[in-house]
């Protein structure tokens, strides 16, 4: 098995994973809590040896926590970002429990590239907010066909209730004040993290390709938890509701 910390090219994949985690935690200090609840619900609903699809997997954050918690699980990570996938593939090199697939979730045929026709759980976090409502609803329609009967889909992401504008504004102001304080103490933001990746001899090429694909970071929609639950039920899931929330984010679970 290849050492997950290094490759022949000399990249320290574990260091890049930890750097990504710290950057993400600048935005979401409760990131580990949402992962913990996500895996609690996986174990509760589909057992301790699930076949998981890590959707828009990035560096494999969910997969890493899944295998640490449930070592008999298997994971398929799917993403389009060549730089984040390079980190994921380097981290999990030699681990036969993990497979990665390069695919564009906006491509209607993306699921045909997966190694399995169905999964016990499809999991995603802080990734689908770059989709607008219509393509997100279309994606949910595809996902219901990938989840086995009795299986689950979970999405932890920014979900905004537009009926509470004063609450939203107060929460946002407090969150950004905290982020500003952390920035003064040396925290990296998203743009600064990518600047570091672009200077790394191993990640420079994949990072350049990543920006050719995506351009600069662009936000899609952040509809309310009620919209997500309703859309998932309309797609064919039997039950759907939040199982965890913070003032800005929600973990939405749908059961087939």
Torsion of Cα atoms, 103 then 3 then 71 then 112, to 10°: 20
Q: How many CB atoms lie within 10 A of CB 35?
A: 21
Q: Per residue in 74-118, pLDDT tens? A: 999 999 999 999 999 999 999 999 999 999 999 999 999 999 999
Q: Per-residue confidence at 216, pLDDT binned at 50, 70, 90?
A: confident
Q: According to the model, what pLDDT value does residue 94 have?
A: 96
Residue 107 near residue 138, CB atoms below 8 Å: no
* pTM for this entry: 0.94
Residue 221: predicted pLDDT: 84
**Distance between CA atoms of residues 250 and 142, nearest Å:** 22
């Amino acid at each position: 098995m290849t050492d997950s910390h290094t490759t022949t090219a000399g990249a320290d994949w574990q260091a890049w994973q930890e750097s990504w985690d710290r950057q993400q935690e600048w935005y979401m200090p409760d990131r580990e809590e949402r992962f913990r609840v996500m895996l609690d619900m996986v174990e509760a609903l589909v057992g301790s040896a699930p076949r998981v699809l890590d959707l828009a997997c990035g560096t494999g954050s969910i997969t890493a926590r899944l295998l640490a918690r449930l070592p008999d699980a298997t994971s398929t990570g799917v993403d389009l970002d060549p730089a984040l996938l390079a980190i994921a593939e380097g981290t999990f090199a030699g681990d036969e429990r993990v497979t990665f697939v390069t695919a564009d979730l906006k491509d209607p045929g993306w699921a045909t590239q997966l190694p399995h026709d169905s999964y016990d759980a499809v999991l995603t976090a802080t990734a689908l907010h770059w989709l607008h409502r219509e393509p997100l609803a279309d994606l949910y329609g595809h996902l219901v066909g990938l989840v086995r009967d009795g299986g689950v889909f979970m999405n932890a992401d920014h979900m905004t209730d537009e009926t509470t504008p004063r609450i939203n504004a107060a929460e946002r102001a407090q969150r950004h004040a905290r982020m500003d304080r952390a920035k003064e103490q040396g925290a990296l933001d998203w743009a600064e993290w990518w600047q570091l990746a672009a200077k790394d001899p191993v990640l420079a090429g994949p990072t350049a390709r990543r920006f050719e694909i995506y351009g600069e970071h662009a936000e899609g929609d952040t509809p309310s938890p009620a919209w997500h639950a309703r859309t998932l039920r309309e797609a064919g899931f039997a039950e759907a509701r939040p199982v965890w929330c913070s003032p800005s984010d929600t973990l939405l679970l749908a059961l087939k």
